[in-house]
């Protein structure tokens, strides 16, 4: 029970990677607020945690809205009495298009959710972490935050930005005993990567099977995609006391993706 007595917020916690992290944190003793925009998915995730004997709160909130984030943080502290861990996981895939053809609205929404959302959640969680002189902030970036990514510029830019935010926050919060790190996953099996593969295949006139193999499997040392539980295990480590000396870092969990 490495997180016994602690309270975590996992944004985008209703499905996929966020759900996997929320369930893993709860299995290690944390009370977990799952937040996102789908009430049905959030309530299902929270119910699964409670059914297993844990504590959980489902809060519908758009992380790109400061009032919504403020309400989510307040609800968490009101329900559980404190806040120890923030996982900035909420994100969208953004448009699949060359920059010359991408809509400005799609670019702005991608950065609003993926980067500004992490900024807002951190901003409003920080006073609680500083007050108790401890805590963890974990940002879920991507291998796309370390490479050029043709036809996915908005997504890549948002994930590059998260790495910069991670390093800057680590410097600001280190003196208060709070660590800030990022995880850069490779392709994680699930609905989101399925949609990305589909959209890229359509844009290039290729088959989804060819796109998956060429872009997301062959460039890895392990010749496979990752499971959500593999990222959740790394998040658990960073949230635990074992990672108390690690801050300002971006840990790649990529199946050996060739950078």
Q: Is 155 labeled as catalytic in the residue annotation?
A: yes
Identify whether the C-beta of residue 238 lies closer than 8 Å to the C-beta of residue 246.
yes
Any residues with CB less than 8 A from the CB of 105 and at least 6 apart, and which? none
Burial of 24 (0-12, 13-18, 19+ CB in 10 A): buried
Q: How many other CB atoms sit within 10 Å of the CB of residue 97? A: 17
Cβ neighbourhood burial of 223 (10 Å; 0-12, 13-18, 19+) = exposed
**Which of 80, 107, 149, 155 is an active site residue?**
155
Question: Which of 99, 74, 77, 72 lies closest to 88 in space, CA to CA?
Answer: 72
Which residues are within 8 A (CB) of 166 and not within 5 positions of it... i.e. 6 or more apart? 137, 139, 141, 180, 181, 182, 248, 249, 250
- List the end-to-end C-alpha distance of the chain, in Å, as a whole number: 35
Kindly report the backbone phi and psi dihedral angles of residue 253, in degrees, each rounded to the nearest multiple of 5, phi listed first.
Answer: -125, 90
What are the tokens at 104? 């400005």
Beta strands, E only, 93-169 = 135-140
Q: Which residues are catalytic?
A: 155
């Amino acid at each position: 029970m490495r997180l016994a007595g602690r309270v975590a917020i996992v944004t985008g916690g209703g499905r996929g990677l966020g759900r996997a992290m929320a369930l893993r944190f709860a299995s290690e003793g944390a009370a977990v607020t799952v937040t996102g925009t789908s009430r049905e998915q959030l309530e299902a995730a929270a119910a699964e945690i409670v059914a297993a004997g844990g504590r959980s709160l489902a809060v519908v909130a758009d992380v790109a809205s400061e009032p919504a984030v403020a309400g989510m943080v307040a609800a968490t502290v009101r329900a559980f009495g404190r806040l120890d861990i923030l996982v900035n996981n909420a994100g969208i895939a953004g448009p699949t298009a060359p920059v010359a053809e991408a809509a400005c609205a799609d670019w702005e929404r991608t950065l609003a959710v993926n980067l500004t959302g992490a900024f807002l959640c951190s901003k409003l969680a920080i006073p609680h972490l500083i007050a108790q002189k401890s805590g963890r902030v974990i940002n879920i970036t991507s291998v796309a935050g370390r490479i050029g990514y043709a036809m996915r510029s908005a997504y890549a830019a948002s994930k590059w930005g998260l790495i910069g935010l991670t390093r800057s926050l680590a410097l600001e919060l280190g003196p208060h005993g709070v660590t800030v790190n990022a995880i850069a996953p490779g392709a994680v099996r699930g609905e989101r990567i399925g949609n990305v593969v589909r959209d890229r295949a359509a844009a290039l006139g290729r088959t989804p099977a060819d796109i998956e193999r060429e872009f997301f499997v062959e460039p890895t040392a392990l010749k496979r995609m990752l499971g959500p539980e593999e990222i959740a295990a790394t998040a658990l480590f960073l949230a635990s006391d074992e990672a108390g000396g690690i801050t300002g870092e971006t840990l790649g969990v990529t199946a050996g993706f060739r950078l």
